[in-house]
Chain A
Amino acid sequence: MSLQQIIDRRLSGKNKSIGNRERFLRRHKEQIREAVKRAVDGRGIRDIERGEDVHIPKKDLSEPVFGHGDGGVREVVRPGNQEYVKGDRVAKPKGGSGGQGGGQASDSGEGEDDFVFHLSREEFMQVFFDDLALPNLARTTLADTPEWKSQRAGFVSDGTPTNLHVVRSMRGALGRRIALGMDKRRELHELEAREQELLRDDRPETARLLLETRERIRALKARLAAIPFLDPIDLRFRARVRIPVPTTRAVMFCLMDVSGSMDEARKDLAKRFFILLYLFLTRHYEKIDVVFIRHHTQAQEVDEQAFFHATETGGTVVSSALVLMEQIIRERYSPTEWNIYGAQASDGDNWHHDSGRCRELLADKLLPLCRYFAYVQVAEPEQNLWEEYGKLAGNMPHFAMRKAVEAAQIYPVFRELFRKEGASP
């Protein structure tokens, strides 16, 4: 009997419907963007990278077909009659027909619940990046880890002399020499034994045989000697591969103005700005500390919750935050051990005598310590802080500043940062 083969499909092609899923997401882009926006508002900077549930109203998903509505005459057969006899009358439920008469019309009747589905981490980040108008290069930079470590990975037959593995090569050569000389050596041993035999025998005709044997022995020895001691095919080299590694650690300072003029929308923009820097850093460093410093006329270090959600009132002295940042660096984050990144967000409002001091503080004290310092102004009007910082921007390559009144304008602040890292392998 010939039986059909059972096919094991388990390892081949799951996610066949990924294309369908993409089309589904594409169709509901707006709702998804809205959901991602809400999620970004609600999440801490550190846990931005996970999926999110998205709700889509049922009516937006309907696929209409012609069908019967309520009304008219219809007859339905049901099982399980307990009490009725022919001719019985049963009151219809209030509010039209439903219930008993449901028939086939109710198979989609899951009520008006939203359609909920889970956006995966990758999809979530994709939408988030879309919102920030991140160019592709920057996306790959965010996805890649540009630090490399070289690691041994076995042996190869080709390489540079410095990587030559002597023991392996000699072992290979020995094996080859044994293999190539095997039969000749066996014959040689036989001939030598014969020679001894012939020497003991002193009949005259053996003299010629002896001569022939010796000739043969000499030829074999020559051929054995011709087997090369070391051949190029014996050579073995250590192979090394480069593997990416996140290196060392970094600290990120988030500085934000929390004076009365920073409303929720501006804080939200600032938050996206911080998130982007944080994401960048997570790709590059194993350990990241985040320090939140908020300020009005005085600066204080706070936790994330207080940083984004508590409101204060009063004037603004930006330099207080910079002083605090420098102080924290000195106390806790030695620049020789930590890569220091600064990100400052403000609406540009500052006590006008203070702005010059801010520029000096940055130029003389902070920038020499930092790998990168980015300033984003989340409001349009240019005030003296903007002007003072503007003087710095020209001649300090690791200082960037930008105005951003909507999310898509944030990315250019990091252009320098991403380009530099993106250009290295």
Chain B
Amino acid sequence: MSSREDRRHPERAATPPRGMPERRQRQPLRRMLPLLQRPTQPLPSPNDWSFELIEDYHAVIKQTAERFGLDTYANQLEVITAEQMMDAYASVGMPVNYRHWSYGKEFIATERHYKRGQMGLAYEIVINADPCIAYLMEENTLAMQALVIAHACYGHNSFFKGNYLFRMWTDASSIIDYLVYAKNYVADCEERHGLDAVETLLDSCHALMNHGVDRYHRPAKLSLAEERARQKEREQHAQSQVNDLWRTLPRRPDRPDEAAESRRFPEEPQENLLYFIEKNAPLLEPWQREVVRIVRKIAQYFYPQRQTQVMNEGWATFWHHRLLNQMYDDGYLSDGMMIEWLKSHTNVVHQHPGANLNPYALGFAMYTDIKRICEAPTDEDRAWFPDIAGGDWLPTLDHAMRNFKDESFIGQYLSPKLMRDFRLFAILDDEAKSDYEISAIHDEAGYRHLRQALSRQYDLSAREPDIQVWNVNLRGDRSLTLRHVQHQNRPLHESAQDVLKHVGRLWGFAVALESVNARGDVTRRWSVPAQAG
């Protein structure tokens, strides 16, 4: 497996300086490093924070995290106000983003809820960038700031740097630059082509955002400069490419049907709708293709986050809990601080019985449970997890964090004990039957079934409908056909028709969507005629 350093600094990785350990794959620590010197008294713990105090706490948290061997990007702490926090909320948590009315809507909704006291703001937002940016809210008490630093700067940060999905799909060092570029490009388009044109285009792209990601092959990483240089080139090239597509087709007016059958386009179904549209939609202007690309790139950036919610939040929660407890044991934290952050922690990991699973609670419980299996395995654990029971917990946890996503993480590590603790049960809802059926509960007969069912529940490809580009009628009206393959006979939501209108707007000709069941029969068909003009 190639490491991040390899890609970023090829020259350095190629010739590692002598005398220094090679910086490729960082080996996790087997056990925690000892404390060098016990402090004579705990850190001061007034209610209000100050910059000096945050620095003091940060220093101790950093040092404790290093003793556990957490590998992180550099941290950048930024103190912001509640209003700025709402700004950040509105632009999907990023410090810059292009402008769109939907972000305005988000902001207004957040502001209203917040002002009426219906919701508190998150204590922190952390951005997967290098350096990793963490926002601390002004209103937080000192204890909360310490919690946030441990949670975001060492929990999430090390997850961003370590997890394979993030390493594969996102480039932390260039995302901010790319967003700046995107913002300026969209603003430029608004100036040149009018607000309305850009707005409708973005609306359409957003509708397909979840279907604008590559699931299997990794896009090449580009620096901002390369991206810019290539953009111009792309603009001219892509356009001619599209025209070529139509031009190079053999013209056989006498036998059109045969030609259409002889060549299928695309040759294989395509899952990345936005990519297909960017490259192949016949009528898009170059700038429109670029905007489609921007939305697609950003969707791709967020794709890992959507697949690692339990793992990511669980990891961060586990580590703030572990780090702060360790600091208390070492004599850095006062009792008052402990009580205060533990109260918040308890709220965060609260699981309401019967409700949807709280990802914080599930993730925290799973990492804690893995640690328990390593340190104090029972016979049951030895039978279920022979490879990790009784091992060192640090490398085991490190491995679990790096190499899984929610689906596989649960499939691998959810233990019978945890299922009993959570009192998990599975409900089967079959449209054909009049009742719900309890298909499994937390007992010997149900463990495997439960674990499988929960793992599937977090499988993004099962959660979102599987829709692919099926065919383009090259010889006729250029209409585009999408195909939905039903998973467990689950139909599409009624909004499909509205989304299809957006597809039609991007494609420029008629579009249709077929829903196909497991036997391959088309059960439902939506269509949008070619747009006039």
**Contacts from A to B (Cβ < 8 Å):** 1, 3-4, 6-10, 13-17, 19-27, 61-82, 84-92, 97, 100-105, 115-118
Closest-by-CB residue of A relative to B66 is: A1
Residue in A13, A17, A77, A79 with the greatest tally of chain B CB atoms within 10 Å: A77
Q: A10-B80, A117-B108 are in contact. Are A80 and B422 (CB under 8 A)?
A: yes
A86 lies within 8 A of B490 (CB): no
Q: How far is the CB of A389 from chain B (nearest CB, A)?
A: 45
A67 lies within 8 A of B465 (CB): yes
Alpha-carbon distance between A118 and B116 when the two chains are bound, in angstroms: 12
Q: Is B243 an interface residue (CB 8 A)?
A: no
Alpha-carbon distance between A75 and B489 when the two chains are bound, in angstroms: 12
Q: Which residues of B from 2 to 28 have beta carbons under 8 Å from A?
A: none
Known A10-B81, A21-B108; further 13 A-B contacts with Cβ < 8 A: A10-B138, A16-B91, A17-B107, A20-B91, A67-B464, A67-B492, A68-B491, A68-B492, A78-B425, A86-B441, A88-B437, A92-B429, A116-B112
Residue in A13, A61, A85 with the greatest tally of chain B CB atoms within 10 Å: A85
Alpha-carbon distance between A10 and B206 when the two chains are bound, in angstroms: 31
Q: What residues of B have a CB within 8 angstroms of the CB of A67 in the complex?
A: 464-465, 492-493, 495
Residue in A19, A76, A82 with the greatest tally of chain B CB atoms within 10 Å: A76
- What mask results when residues 49 to 92 of chain B are scored 1 for a CB within 8 Å of chain A, else 0? 00100110011001100000000001111111101101100110
Q: What residues of A have a CB within 8 angstroms of the CB of B424 in the complex?
A: 77-79, 81
Q: What residues of A have a CB within 8 angstroms of the CB of B487 in the complex?
A: 72
Q: Is B114 an interface residue (CB 8 A)?
A: no
Q: A24-B105, A27-B101 are in contact. Are A75 and B429 (CB under 8 A)?
A: yes
B423 lies within 8 A of A79 (CB): yes
A74 lies within 8 A of B488 (CB): yes
Closest-by-CB residue of B relative to A12 is: B84
A66 lies within 8 A of B495 (CB): yes
Residue in A24, A62, A115 with the greatest tally of chain B CB atoms within 10 Å: A24
B438 lies within 8 A of A65 (CB): no
Q: What residues of A have a CB within 8 angstroms of the CB of B351 in the complex?
A: 79-80
Q: What residues of B have a CB within 8 angstroms of the CB of A77 in the complex?
A: 357, 424-427, 450, 453-454, 457
Query: Can you name 5 A-B residue pairings with CB atoms under 8 Å?
Result: A9-B78, A66-B210, A68-B465, A74-B490, A86-B438
Q: What residues of A have a CB within 8 angstroms of the CB of B211 in the complex?
A: 66
A65 lies within 8 A of B429 (CB): no
**Contacts from B to A (Cβ < 8 Å):** 51, 54-55, 58-59, 62-63, 74-81, 83-84, 86-87, 90-91, 99-109, 112, 131, 135, 138, 195, 199, 203, 206-211, 351-357, 422-431, 434-443, 445-446, 450, 453-454, 456-457, 463-465, 467, 484, 486-496, 498-499, 502
Q: What residues of B have a CB within 8 angstroms of the CB of A8 in the complex?
A: 51, 78-79
Q: What residues of A have a CB within 8 angstroms of the CB of B208 in the complex?
A: 65
Q: How far is the CB of A22 from chain B (nearest CB, A)?
A: 7
Residue in B63, B77, B211, B434 with the greatest tally of chain A CB atoms within 10 Å: B77
* Other-chain residue from B62, B78, B104, B493 in contact with A24 (beta carbon distance below 8 A): B104
Closest-by-CB residue of B relative to A106 is: B356
Alpha-carbon distance between A82 and B208 when the two chains are bound, in angstroms: 41
Q: What residues of A have a CB within 8 angstroms of the CB of B438 in the complex?
A: 84-90
Q: How far is the CB of B37 from chain A (nearest CB, A)?
A: 14
Q: A61-B105, A71-B431, A80-B354 are in contact. Are A66 and B465 (CB under 8 A)?
A: yes
Q: How far is the CB of B185 from chain A (nearest CB, A)?
A: 15
Alpha-carbon distance between A71 and B429 when the two chains are bound, in angstroms: 8
Closest-by-CB residue of A relative to B202 is: A23
Q: How far is the CB of A10 from chain B (nearest CB, A)?
A: 5
A21 lies within 8 A of B436 (CB): no
A63 lies within 8 A of B107 (CB): no
B464 lies within 8 A of A73 (CB): no
Q: What residues of B have a CB within 8 angstroms of the CB of A78 in the complex?
A: 354-357, 424-427
B440 lies within 8 A of A86 (CB): yes
Q: How far is the CB of B431 from chain A (nearest CB, A)?
A: 5
Alpha-carbon distance between A73 and B432 when the two chains are bound, in angstroms: 8
A100 lies within 8 A of B490 (CB): no
Q: A24-B108, A117-B108 are in contact. Are A19 and B99 (CB under 8 A)?
A: yes
Q: A10-B84, A16-B87 are in contact. Are A4 and B437 (CB under 8 A)?
A: no
A17 lies within 8 A of B78 (CB): no
A85 lies within 8 A of B101 (CB): no
* Other-chain residue from A4, A26, A90 in contact with B74 (beta carbon distance below 8 A): A4
Q: What residues of A have a CB within 8 angstroms of the CB of B74 in the complex?
A: 4
Q: What residues of A have a CB within 8 angstroms of the CB of B63 in the complex?
A: 1
Alpha-carbon distance between A13 and B87 when the two chains are bound, in angstroms: 10
* Other-chain residue from A7, A19, A22 in contact with B78 (beta carbon distance below 8 A): A7
A90 lies within 8 A of B489 (CB): no
B489 lies within 8 A of A73 (CB): yes
A24 lies within 8 A of B486 (CB): no
Q: How far is the CB of B477 from chain A (nearest CB, A)?
A: 24
Alpha-carbon distance between A97 and B436 when the two chains are bound, in angstroms: 10
Q: A9-B84, A68-B491, A69-B490 are in contact. Are A17 and B104 (CB under 8 A)?
A: yes
Q: What residues of A have a CB within 8 angstroms of the CB of B453 in the complex?
A: 75-77
Alpha-carbon distance between A142 and B104 when the two chains are bound, in angstroms: 28
Q: What residues of B have a CB within 8 angstroms of the CB of A64 in the complex?
A: 207, 495, 498-499, 502
Alpha-carbon distance between A78 and B422 when the two chains are bound, in angstroms: 9
Q: How far is the CB of B133 from chain A (nearest CB, A)?
A: 9
Q: A6-B55, A20-B99, A73-B490 are in contact. Are A90 and B112 (CB under 8 A)?
A: no
Closest-by-CB residue of A relative to B440 is: A86
Alpha-carbon distance between A261 and B89 when the two chains are bound, in angstroms: 54
